[in-house]
Amino acid sequence: MDTKLTIYNTLTRRKEAFEPLTPGRVGIYVCGPTVYGDPHLGHARPAVTFDLLFRYLKASGYRVRYVRNITDVGHLEHDADEGEDKIAKKARLEQLEPMEVAHYYTERYRRAMEALNVLSPSIEPHASGHIIEQIAFVQRILDAGFAYVSNGSVYFDVEKYDAAHRYGILSGRNLEDIVANTRELDGQGDKRHSYDFALWKKAAPEHIMRWPSPWSDGFPGWHMECSAMSTKYLGERFDIHGGGMDLMFPHHECEIAQSTAALGHDSARYWVHNNMITINGQKMGKSLGNFITLDELFSGSHRLLAQAYTPMTVRFFVLQAHYRSTLDFSNEALQAAEKGLDRLMKGIEALDKVKPAAVSTVDPAELETRCRAAMDDDLNSPMVISALFDWVRTINSLVDGKQTIAAEDLERLKATVHRYAFDILGLRDEKAAGAASGRDYVTPLVEMLLAERMQARAAKDWAASDRIRDGLAAAGIRVKDRKDGSDWELE
Ligand code: ZN
């Protein structure tokens, strides 16, 4: 292991030297998406942040088991314990099986992640595939005395837990604040206190996603899947738990409480949180009209977008900010990222034009040292990018012959640049790679034709609509109509 990584631990609120529990091996658990809608800009940041961590640990010689879950059950409309299941609701509206919805959006998510060059995790467990483990985990909490059964549901006893372990250690809240901020009155519904949360919910008659349990036919609480699945795949103690800052409370706080209640200790050694993406200074939200999906970004088909942005532009944009800083999306910022990425890729391509000389006037070890120090300092990707930019200038003076480099140093420089730009930052040279893995020329064109076709259909010009569909089919693109538009895929 040649890394001296320090990482900011949200739990202790300071940077700590990273020491894995088992030498040479690292276990990471990251909360993944709830699969009831298209992946959006907000998904890009945690995905790229923890991909950077995954890549850096692997490049540093660790064996990493990276678990990122898929939430396909138990995430209710109002996040806490009330409302319809988000996936069941979508299924009801679209007249589909809930698992069709989950499968469809899981595939969409994977496709977007591939486009962003986010590596596939080691394990991607689904909540619905781990009901048995979740029931067993709930039972452990009941056996430990930190939960109670009420009318077929099981709730976590926050007050009792707080007296034994203190609830709120991650977010820095205490129970009095939480009580003061809760509008709900105690004694309503099945819970003893408004701040208690569901470990298992008895399903109402109309609720379609349900499983048998010792307490009722029902479904697990949203927080339960992460405690159960992290324990199953990483053990009762593991190294890093990650996720977006928005998950810190209540989700991660509840995970800590569940694991501590069942196991006697928190499972994760380091809690790592990425900051959020805002859009022109505003929080992203469907009601604000600034909700941008990744497909819309890649095709430019959203009224807030001045143009299409390639997946690598989006990735570079995310990496240009430190993961704990806020990141504000705007067309100007994305256009600047596009230019920056282009300059970096041209610099890397120019390396092939450098002719080795007898002696070196530059030292590539400087780049290696700077990049490693930056990554070791809590994954400081903007500092890595700035070091690479300094070396783009150096590469240009090597091409111009203003500086010289010996053959051995040139090889070393190429290896270092490739290692940091491609292996660790995970960038891809979209232009050089050509059509196969490079810039997507197809998506914006197909989207444009489909928009034409929608217009034709609205005007009841069925001939024009069919002509576009058949033309696309002849080009190997299959169009599938939905109620509110159409999808397409390559045959
Ligand atoms: Zn989680």
Length of the chain: 491
Rounded to whole angstroms, the Cα distance separating 224 from 240 reads 18
Q: Which has more pLDDT, 154 or 483?
A: 154
- Under CATH, what is the fold of the domain 279-432? Four Helix Bundle (Hemerythrin (Met), subunit A) (1.20.120)
Rounded to whole angstroms, the Cα distance separating 445 from 82 reads 43
Rounded to whole angstroms, the Cα distance separating 278 from 330 reads 9
Rounded to whole angstroms, the Cα distance separating 466 from 346 reads 43
How many CA atoms, within 13 angstroms, populate the side-chain half-sphere of residue 16?
15
Å from CA of 13 to ligand 1 middle: 20
Q: Answer yes or no: is pLDDT of 81 > 70.
A: no
The strand ranges marked E within 42-109 are: 63-68
Confidence (pLDDT) at 372: 97
For the residues 305-327, what does the mean pLDDT come to?
97
Rounded to whole angstroms, the Cα distance separating 110 from 116 reads 10
Q: Answer yes or no: is pLDDT of 328 > 60.
A: yes
Q: Answer yes or no: is pLDDT of 440 > 50.
A: yes
Mean pLDDT of the chain: 91
For the residues 389-393, what does the mean pLDDT come to?
98
For the residues 207-230, what does the mean pLDDT come to?
95
Confidence (pLDDT) at 2: 63
| DSSP bridge pairs for 8 | 15
Residue 140: what are its φ and ψ, rounded to 5°? -60, -40
Rounded to whole angstroms, the Cα distance separating 31 from 242 reads 7
Query: What pLDDT digit, counting tens, does each position of 22-77 carry?
Result: 999 999 999 999 888 899 999 999 999 999 999 999 999 999 999 999 998 867 76
Å from CA of 312 to ligand 1 middle: 27
For the residues 370-378, what does the mean pLDDT come to?
98
Confidence (pLDDT) at 484: 64
Å from CA of 239 to ligand 1 middle: 15
Confidence (pLDDT) at 80: 58
Query: What pLDDT digit, counting tens, does each position of 158-182 carry?
Result: 999 999 999 999 999 988 887 777 6
Å from CA of 251 to ligand 1 middle: 6
User: Which residues are within 8 A (CB) of 13 and not within 5 positions of it... i.e. 6 or more apart?
Assistant: none
Residue 321: what are its φ and ψ, rounded to 5°? -110, 145
For the residues 473-484, what does the mean pLDDT come to?
80
Å from CA of 149 to ligand 1 middle: 23
Helix, strand, coil abundance in the chain, percent, nearest 5: 45, 15, 35
Å from CA of 45 to ligand 1 middle: 16
Å from CA of 53 to ligand 1 middle: 18
CATH number of 21-274: 3.40.50.620
For 95-147, the DSSP string reads T--HHHHHHHHHHHHHHHHHHTTPPPPSB--BGGGGHHHHHHHHHHHHHTTSE
Å from CA of 271 to ligand 1 middle: 12
Q: Are the beta carbons of 292 and 303 closer than 8 angstroms?
A: no
Q: Answer yes or no: is pLDDT of 185 > 70.
A: no
Å from CA of 198 to ligand 1 middle: 15
pLDDT bucket at 434, cuts 50 / 70 / 90? low
Confidence (pLDDT) at 1: 57
Å from CA of 30 to ligand 1 middle: 7
pLDDT bucket at 435, cuts 50 / 70 / 90? very low
Distance, C-alpha 38 to centroid of its chain: 13
Å from CA of 66 to ligand 1 middle: 14
Q: Which has more pLDDT, 194 or 443?
A: 194
Query: What pLDDT digit, counting tens, does each position of 1-30 carry?
Result: 567 999 999 999 999 999 999 999 999 999
8-state DSSP, 77: T
Name the pairing type of β-strands 477-482 and 485-490: antiparallel
264 C-beta neighbours (distance < 10 Å), count: 10
User: Which residues are within 8 A (CB) of 67 and not within 5 positions of it... i.e. 6 or more apart?
Assistant: 27, 28, 29, 30, 121, 122, 123, 124, 125, 229, 230, 233, 234
For the residues 193-197, what does the mean pLDDT come to?
92
pLDDT bucket at 221, cuts 50 / 70 / 90? very high
Q: Answer yes or no: is pLDDT of 218 > 50.
A: yes
Confidence (pLDDT) at 79: 52
For the residues 300-312, what does the mean pLDDT come to?
94
Å from CA of 89 to ligand 1 middle: 21
Q: Answer yes or no: is pLDDT of 481 > 90.
A: no
pLDDT bucket at 483, cuts 50 / 70 / 90? low
Rounded to whole angstroms, the Cα distance separating 120 from 67 reads 10
483 C-beta neighbours (distance < 10 Å), count: 8
For the residues 419-426, what does the mean pLDDT come to?
98
Q: Answer yes or no: is pLDDT of 428 > 70.
A: yes
Q: Answer yes or no: is pLDDT of 438 > 90.
A: no
Q: Are the beta carbons of 364 and 407 closer than 8 angstroms?
A: no
Q: Which has more pLDDT, 297 or 187?
A: 297
For the residues 242-262, what does the mean pLDDT come to?
96
How many CA atoms, within 13 angstroms, populate the side-chain half-sphere of residue 446?
23
Å from CA of 34 to ligand 1 middle: 10
